[in-house]
A and B are shown apart, each in its own frame.
Chain A
């Protein structure tokens, strides 16, 4: 069964304190892995797509990496405006998109 598990459920950081969010997945075949940012009361906003193990994508303070079993979203020197819920999703070869429950990130000034 295709599954996505994100950890931790919640993460509190001080401004400037770098950390990583984890997305573990099991799929029969991977078409793509997606990261989204969701602010309270809003729809998910697309961040990255990763297609194969070893691939990395960067945007400002965020960097996403992919292995055959998991993806990491690294946040370098976060700012309070990075506070949000970060969602991971996988698109299996023979199934619909599967979303994780998300990691709720809070960055304190």
Chain B
């Protein structure tokens, strides 16, 4: 079984719709992250959470929100999707003191 899972794996939606991407982990890690990946660009950090009560903005948080429902679950929402949010989205986990991050399989999101 995969340690970090993401649902859905693929999603096509329309401009203005609300979308939620979900991430679950069985690694027992405290820290969770959401990244987006665009062709030719590095992974960009959207939000991260060091524990259930600690949520932090990353470098590109505008247009996104998150919820940490439990240690094992971290959701990313697009309140009103726009076409330039079309990208691959990855969830990752890590556990202190290590900074090594472990990634899920990704969600391919297309906003028409």
Contact = CB atoms under 8 A, between A and B. Distances in A.
A39 to B, nearest CB: 10
Interface residues of B, number: 21
A12 interface: no
Interface residues of A, number: 23
A43 B92 CA distance: 9
B50 to A, nearest CB: 11
B41 A44 contact: no
Contacts of A45: 103
Interface in B3-48: 4, 35, 40-45, 48
B1 to A, nearest CB: 15
A4 B106 contact: no
B58 A96 contact: yes
Contacts of B35: 99
A86 B99 CA distance: 18
Contacts of A36: 103
A41 interface: yes
Interface of B: 4, 35, 40-45, 48, 58-59, 90, 92, 99-106
Interface of A: 4, 9, 31-32, 34, 36, 41-46, 49, 87, 89, 91, 96-102
6 contacts: A43-B105, A43-B106, A87-B42, A96-B45, A96-B58, A98-B42
